[in-house]
DNA sequence: GAGCCGTGGAA
DNA sequence: TTTCCAAGGCT
């Protein structure tokens, strides 16, 4: 019986997904570290389907790390708008500037050096080292966690199982084709070894999958239950003067940091109204938006009366440059 | 180390 | 409708 990694690579040679940032397996072409890095950052907690258009747009506007490093902060934030987790965009630009200005445009080719860069954590450092530089690295993302947990029938719930999962992944990671192995594990998790209703009949590793043999593959990985999301409320203010809208750049840290938005009150259980200036505000309705750890309802107020706002400025507005929460409010006012 | 940080699609 | 979750990182 061939080794598991060899069988997985054979499967990958036939079934690898065709992705814009990927070099086909067995191709002689070397992947571009800039494109691998950009794709890996965009893919953090984000689906392939959601990333594709953003990746095409970014690489068209900024084809290499020097071009991206020279971009204005606001340009990059606007291009990232809608993709979520905006700290990634801030770190992306910070990382590009370090690589462009201090490393002569060359991404580091080792895990420890990659880890020092902003926005690159343990997963991304390992992924770039393996995929872009063909270095053996233990690449563990959510897909790999699920595949390995099932393969080894690890019943310890996440996140407590993480050390055991990493050790098991290390044990099956080959020295040859480490980048293809990592991508094969992730493709397997994304297309065969899915969270619900895994297609074990099609799996190249089915014969040595402990969870499948025990009949518990769909139940793994087990997870410690998460607390219910609390409800928060607030007020949002849309002030309009013809084609000009009162908008502000939100503070660099915290919720939606660095993005454009309409002025709001704080988001708490019992928010005080906080209009940017005194005026006869008219209530337009409510917008609801779910975040990772709370559910938000904002009451939307509108005025076309002039005033001296205590924050933000009047400017033309492209709704595509807004995060989704503010797009919803904008839609309510048009 | 546990909480914070978005979004849209699937079931 | 609600819940889950997707190539995680930062503090």
Q: How far is the CA of A241 from the C1' of C5 (A)?
A: 41
Q: How far is the CA of A234 from the C1' of B2 (A)?
A: 26
Check if the beta carbon of residue A247 is closer than 8 Å to that of residue A262. yes
For residue range A25-68, what is the model confidence (pLDDT) as tens digits? 878 888 999 999 999 999 999 999 999 999 999 999 999 999 99
For residue range A192-230, what is the model confidence (pLDDT) as tens digits? 999 999 999 999 999 989 999 999 999 999 988 777 778
- Domains, chain A: 4-219 (1.10.340.30), 231-332 (3.90.79.10)
With vertex at residue A158, the alpha carbon angle to CA A156 and CA A162, rounded to the nearest 5 degrees, is 85
Nearest CA to A131 out of A19, A23, A12 is that of A23
Question: Is A173 buried (19+), middle (13-18) or exposed (0-12) by CB count in 10 A?
Answer: buried
pTM: 0.85
- Determine the pLDDT at residue A278: 95
**Residue A145 known to be catalytic:** no
- Determine the pLDDT at residue A252: 73
Spatial distance between the Cα atoms of A115 and A122, rounded to a whole number of angstroms: 7
Beta pairing class for A295-303 and A282-290: antiparallel
Q: Which two tokens stand for residue A44?
A: 């953090």
Spatial distance between the Cα atoms of A299 and A301, rounded to a whole number of angstroms: 7
| Cβ neighbours of A167 (radius 10 Å) | 12
Instruction: Name the catalytic one among A40, A111, A145, A152.
Output: A40
Nearest protein residue to nucleotide C10, judged by CA and C1' positions: A119
Give CA separation, A187 vs A5, A11, A142, in Å.
14, 10, 11
Asked whether strand B has any atom less than 7 Å from the CB of A323, the reply is: yes
- Determine the pLDDT at residue A1: 55
Asked whether strand B has any atom less than 7 Å from the CB of A267, the reply is: no
Asked whether strand C has any atom less than 7 Å from the CB of A324, the reply is: no
Q: Which of the nucleotides lies closest to A95 (Cα–C1')?
A: C9
Q: Which of the nucleotides lies closest to A254 (Cα–C1')?
A: B5
Give CA separation, A16 vs A33, A35, A175, A206, in Å.
20, 18, 20, 18
Q: How far is the CA of A6 from the C1' of C5 (A)?
A: 30
Check if the beta carbon of residue A166 is closer than 8 Å to that of residue A123. no
**Ranges of residues in chain A whose predicted pLDDT is under 70:** 1
């Amino acid at each position: 019986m061939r080794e598991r990694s060899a069988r997985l690579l054979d499967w990958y040679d036939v079934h690898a997904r065709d992705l814009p940032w990927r070099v086909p397996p067995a191709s002689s072409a070397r992947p571009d570290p800039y494109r691998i890095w950009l794709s890996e950052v965009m893919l953090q907690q984000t689906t392939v389907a959601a990333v594709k258009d953003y990746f095409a747009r970014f690489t068209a506007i900024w084809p290499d790390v020097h071009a991206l490093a020279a971009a204005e902060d606001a340009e990059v934030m606007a291009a990232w708008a809608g993709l979520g987790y905006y700290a990634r965009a801030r770190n992306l630009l910070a990382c590009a500037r370090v690589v462009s200005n201090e490393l002569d445009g060359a991404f580091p080719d080792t895990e420890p050096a990659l880890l020092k860069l902003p926005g690159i954590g343990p997963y991304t450092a390992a992924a770039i080292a393996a995929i872009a530089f063909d270095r053996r690295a233990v690449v563990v993302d959510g897909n790999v966690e699920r595949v390995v947990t099932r393969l080894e029938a690890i019943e310890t719930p996440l996140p407590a199982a993480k050390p055991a999962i990493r050790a098991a992944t290390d044990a099956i990671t080959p020295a040859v084709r480490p980048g293809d192995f990592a991508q094969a594990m992730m493709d397997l998790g994304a297309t065969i070894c899915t969270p619900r209703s895994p297609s074990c009949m099609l799996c190249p590793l089915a014969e040595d999958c402990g969870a499948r043999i025990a009949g518990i593959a769909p139940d793994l990985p087990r997870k410690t239950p998460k607390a219910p999301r609390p409800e928060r409320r607030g007020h949002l203010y849309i002030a309009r003067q013809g084609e000009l809208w009162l908008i502000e750049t939100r503070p660099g840290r915290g919720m939606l940091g660095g993005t454009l938005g309409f002025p709001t009150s704080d988001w708490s259980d019992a928010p005080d109204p906080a209009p940017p200036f005194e005026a006869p505000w008219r209530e337009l309705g409510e917008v609801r938006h779910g975040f990772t750890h709370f559910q938000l309802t904002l009451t939307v107020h509108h005025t076309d009366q002039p005033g001296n706002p205590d924050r933000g400025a009047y400017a033309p507005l492209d709704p595509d440059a807004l995060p989704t929460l503010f797009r919803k409010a904008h839609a309510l006012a048009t």
